[in-house]
Amino acid sequence: MEQTRTDRFKTALLLMAATGLIVGLAFYLAGQPEIANLIWIAGVVPALAALVVEIVRSIGRGEVGLDIVAALSMTAALVFGETLAAAVVAVMYSGGTFLEAFAEGRARRSMQDLLSRVPRTATRHCNGALEEVPLDELAPGDRLLIRQGDVVPVDGTVASDTAFLDTSALTGESLPVRLARGADAMSGSTNAGEAFDLTATREAKDSTYAGIVRLVEEAQASKAPMSRLADRWSLGFLVVTVSIAFVAWWFTGDPIRAVAVLVVATPCPLILAVPVALVAGLSRAAHFGVLIKGAGPLETMARIRTLILDKTGTLTDGRPQIVSIDSHDGMTEDDILRLAAALDQASKHPVAQAIVAAAKARGFTLPVPTEVAEIPGEGVLGRVEDREVIVGGDGFVASRVGRMVGDHPAKGAGSVLVAVAVDGHMAGHLVMSDPLREGAGTMLDGLRRQGIARILLATGDRADVAERVTEGLGLDGLRAGLTPDQKVLLVLSERKHGPVMMVGDGVNDAPALAAADVGVAMGARGAAASAEAADVVLLVDRIDRLGPGIEIARASRRIAVESVVAGIGLSVLGMIAAAFGYLTPVQGALLQEVIDVAVILNALRALRIAPQEPATGKPQAIMSEQADIVQGATP
């Protein structure tokens, strides 16, 4: 709300300054210079007053910006009667601040959106009946019913024989976990199995999910605001400007020359060109499926030296896939997959759905199963085409067909072994795991060539799983078993090597994303919490979009710097000409407009940035469907 009021105020200043300039020119051309002067003054005073207030606030924060030059030029022009020049400067300055506000405005929703994942009410057992109660009324010891698909509202312990929870958004564990009676269940996890009872151990406000929300808020509050790129040259430019104006006045005794110098020095090339280049970069990045939430994050993105990646759903796909099929008794791999998938159509288990998806991807037509019975967390039994089929965990299926459970050679760390029995005999095994995303290794190599010095993995998953998945990637570090607050500490500790980018997709990544210099969320399938906390959202579910995003950010920043240097150079030449009397204040203001146009046209080159393919060096082709989608999301 505060940001909206600020943006409206800056828009009003621009409208008043522009209206004053245009109406004043109309009266001047109509032969009414006195009225024109009054109108020009009326248009300048609001912009000058707002500028002075901002300068005082900046000095109070220990910051010195180029706003001082603009204030000096407007004030001097008014004092010495150069009201037209003052009006032109007011329009240029208010227009620049308007563009800057647009470029750096961050469309962050209220943190209340983060809580939308958790239901507002919970189902509680009370005197042999069920009642819906608000979360605030829950107390430790309450017995709750968690239905299939529900999000666990509070921390608690499982009060049923078994529960099957998807905790990937909290822990990074890619596959759902089976919990026995008495096991701890974290709020924010999703019930992936049958309904179960939960005994609350904490109030909602003290539970895991609420703690993550607080971590995000604290990390966001601790991140210092991004300073404007142009202000880094402010002190030196201010000294040069004042020196030239003072020398011109001192040696000629003509204060108008000093006014002309100040007007030419008005830093509109810096104020305008930088946000134009960066906004163009934002638009270009969105065209490639990378939504950057403002010019500040884009500029920081261009200076990233350390990259920290989450594993599940970020570096990996986040969904179990079939790695291999081991067949027995002469049954073919296709038959095993088709029969298993046909039966698994009756289950909502994530692994079952992955098997069904794999079978459909191979073009199999799946018959409808009959006489289906599902044992939550164990497996499914039924008939497919008059054949008795059992699909589930190795131990579950082995016990049903009277076989001993043995070690399967194909199963590795982080893999899930799904056994398939047909007509009372073990037919085979499906080995499933969460694989690396396609092109992940090539992407990391490309990022190193772009100047990323350190690449680390940070995951809540087990160390052996993380090591297996990332083998051969050449990471500079691997941190496993991390909690959300430990990820934040890792981000903070890595800052000694330079600006840090964190990439993640789950609720557990949100605090680290907020604490990083640039947080990147996998927004296509990621949690709303991570997208809210992030500075950058990948709108398409492809980690390889990160490379083009960084390349666009660096090219945009380079173009912005070029515009700044060119603008300063031309302004200094103009100041020298004004000091020698070759430019009047009005001519100086018009010259500055020409300089503005030149540097803005240069800044607009950012719209033509074409990221290169890591392997071929050719411009990346934009998928038309994705481009159509993301163009509408351009900030």
pLDDT tens readout for residues 311-335: 777 777 767 778 788 888 778 888 8
Q: Which CATH superfamily is domain 319-431 in?
A: Calcium-transporting ATPase, cytoplasmic domain N (3.40.1110.10)
Catalytic positions, written as ranges: 310
* Distance (Å) of CA 414 to CA 317, 405, 632: 14, 19, 39
- 180-197: burial string, b at 16+ Cβ within 10 Å, e else: eeeeebbbbbbbbbbebb
- Residue 617's pLDDT is what? 41
> What long-range pairs does 542-545 form, CB within 8 A, spacing at least 24?
542/289, 542/437, 543/314, 543/315, 543/437, 543/439, 543/440, 543/443, 543/503, 544/437, 544/438, 544/439, 544/440, 544/442, 544/443, 545/288, 545/289, 545/290
For 169-183, give the DSSP string. Answer: HHH--SS-EEEETT-
Start-end of H helices in 472-621: 484-494, 510-515, 528-533, 546-579, 585-603
How do residues 217-271 score in pLDDT, each as one tens digit?
554 444 433 345 555 666 677 788 888 988 988 988 889 988 888 888 766 556 6
How do residues 80-107 score in pLDDT, each as one tens digit?
888 888 888 888 778 766 765 554 443 3
Query: Mean pLDDT lowest for which of 63-67, 222-226, 421-425, 509-513?
Result: 222-226
Q: Helix 546-579 crosses helix 234-252 at what angle (to 10 degrees)?
A: 10
Which strand (E) or helix (H) includes residue 290? Answer: strand 290-292
- Residue 312's pLDDT is what? 74
Cβ neighbours for 243, distance < 8 A, ≥ 6 positions apart: none
| Residue 213 in tokens | 């929300």
Would you say residue 183 has pLDDT above 90?
Answer: no
The CATH code that applies to domain 288-315+435-550 is 3.40.50.1000
d(CA 408, CA 473) in angstroms, rounded, equals: 27
d(CA 169, CA 35) in angstroms, rounded, equals: 66
At 512, is the pLDDT very low, low, confident or very high (cuts 50, 70, 90)?
A: confident
d(CA 16, CA 467) in angstroms, rounded, equals: 62
How do residues 519-573 score in pLDDT, each as one tens digit?
888 765 555 556 666 788 876 677 888 888 899 999 988 888 888 788 888 888 8
d(CA 300, CA 295) in angstroms, rounded, equals: 9
What are the phi and psi torsion angles at 181 (to 5°)?
-55, 135
- Residue 507's pLDDT is what? 67
The ranges assigned to domains in the chain are: 138-201, 216-277+552-606, 288-315+435-550, 319-431
Handedness of CA 603, 299, 591, 74 (dihedral sign): positive
The whole-chain average pLDDT of the chain stands at 78
Between 152 and 296, the higher pLDDT residue: 152
The architecture of the domain spanning 138-201 is Distorted Sandwich (2.70)
| Residue 532 in tokens | 């809210």
Instruction: Give the distance from CA 415 to its chain's centroid.
Output: 30
Cβ neighbours for 204, distance < 8 A, ≥ 6 positions apart: 118, 135, 136, 138, 153, 154, 187, 210
Instruction: Return the bridge partners of 538, or none.
Output: 290, 522
Smallest CA-to-CA distance from 99 within 334, 278, 227, 335 is with 278
| Residue 518 in tokens | 């640039």
Q: In what order do the strands lie in the sheet with 177-180?
A: 177-180, 162-166, 190-191
What are the phi and psi torsion angles at 380 (to 5°)?
-130, 140
How do residues 26-61 score in pLDDT, each as one tens digit?
998 888 989 998 999 998 899 888 888 888 887 777
Percent over 90 (pLDDT), the chain: 11
